[in-house]
Amino acid sequence: MIFYCEKHLNHKPEKEMDMGIFVPNADTPQRIEKIAVELQKEGYELHDINHFDESVLSLVHDRDYIEWIKNRSRITPPEQEYFPEVFGYDRLFDTGTPITWNSYESALYAVYTALTSAEWIICGNMFSYAMCRPPGHHASADMGGGYCYFNNIAIASKYIQNKKGGRIAILDLDFHHGNGTQDIFYNDPSILYVSLHGTPDIFFPWIKGFSNEVGEGEGKEFNLNIPLKPETEIEEYISNLNIGLDKIKDYSPDYLLVSLGLDIVEGDNQGGLNIKTDDYIKIGNKIKKLIDDLKIPLMIVQEGGYSGENNAKAVIKLFEGMNIEK
Ligand code: SP5
Ligand code: ZN
């Protein structure tokens, strides 16, 4: 089942600062809208989301941080955008994640979209796709960044465990390392985090995503980073994906959650790999085989991907590769 919420349309950051100058913000509503339109043309149905209590944010985020985002949204006049001025004081780690008057609400409904998807799989269904926007995987307990305010997939993971228990594997396929998700579960052996991403030597978020980050304390060995060279193509990508999937197979989780960033596609304006949209059939095949072998449900959460057109093509090919029914 595919879940979509139109509240993301109200979140329209106009600019971001890149290398000291303002450029158009890449997190456009169009990114998701194009996927929605094309999926429906293909015969897939989109489903509306359920509402939850705002307190679900506390499953992952610090109260101070939640209040700061909420208040910042409330006091920022329409037509204006708030950018962090003092790093370490403000709660945003980059200059790509401005706060507008309804960023809080849109981010909250992205969380509700992920939770509606989570509900669907814990009720005994085998597949859901949460069309979240804004994305989430760069947000940690007390810090936003990389277009992310609240960590949709991390909150969904906690929600699933609170309701049903069990162990979860998160496979992060976004071009960027999911520093937020990694941080949140770094000491937690009940959640395995596996990420393939452009090497942080060169690419955002720079601070995290190296292969020597393997988890800490009880969480040691339950974090696997697989950094990739610029312009990596599908063959090499798949051999690295196999390493990640083997790790997940050995872990034998009760649920597989995928952070689906489509910014690994060649030409993405935030990316740096050379994956073709047709290659998603192969990626889909691999994931499908894993969940069939393990007999576990799959939940996909949308993260990055900055060409609406390629996003739609990639998702359709991925679903084809996974044999998702319409
Ligand atoms: C969810 C997600 O994919 N967030 C990624 C945010 C990445 N922003 C990086 C900004 C700095 C790099 N600028 C390169 C732009 C070249 N056109
Ligand atoms: Zn990304």
Looking at residue 66, its amino acid is: I
pLDDT value, residue 35 = 98
Total-model pTM = 0.98
Residue 146 beta carbon below 6 angstroms from any ligand 1 atom: yes
Per-residue pLDDT band at 89 (split at 50, 70, 90): confident
In which band, very low, low, confident or very high, does the pLDDT at 71 lie, cut at 50, 70 and 90? very high
Give the position, in ligand 1's atom list, of the atom nearest the Cα of 136: 1
Mean pLDDT on 225-253? 98
pLDDT tens-digit series, residues 16-25: 998 889 999 9
Task: Output the CA angle 189-107-133, nearest 5 degrees.
Answer: 85
Q: How far is the CA of 1 from the centre of ligand 1 (A)?
A: 30
Look at residues 216, 221, 204 and name the one whose alpha carbon lies nearest to residue 304.
204
* 272 Cβ closer than 6 Å to some ligand 1 atom: no
Residue nearest to atom 8 of ligand 1 (CA): 146
Q: Which two tokens stand for residue 269?
A: 């304006």
- Does the structure show a pLDDT above 70 at 87? no
Compute φ and ψ for 151, nearest 5 degrees.
Answer: -85, 95
- Residue 191, beta-bridge partner list: 168
Tokens of 207: 């601070």
Q: Are strands 191-198 and 46-47 parallel, antiparallel or unpaired?
A: unpaired
Ligand 1 atom 15: residue of nearest CA: 270
Question: With b meaning 16 or more CB within 10 Å and e meaning fewer, what string describes 132-163?
Answer: bbbbbbbbbeebbbbbbbbbbbbbbbbbbbee
Ligand 1 binding pocket mutation candidate from 140, 177, 268, 270 (most atoms within 8 A of CB): 270
Interval between CA 20 and ligand 1 midpoint (Å)? 14
Residue 16 Cβ inside 6 Å of ligand 1? The answer reads: no
268 C-alpha to ligand 1 centroid (Å): 10
Compute the average pLDDT of residues 52-59. Answer: 98
138 classed as catalytic: yes
Can you list the domains of the chain with their CATH numbers? Answer: 2-322 (3.40.800.20)
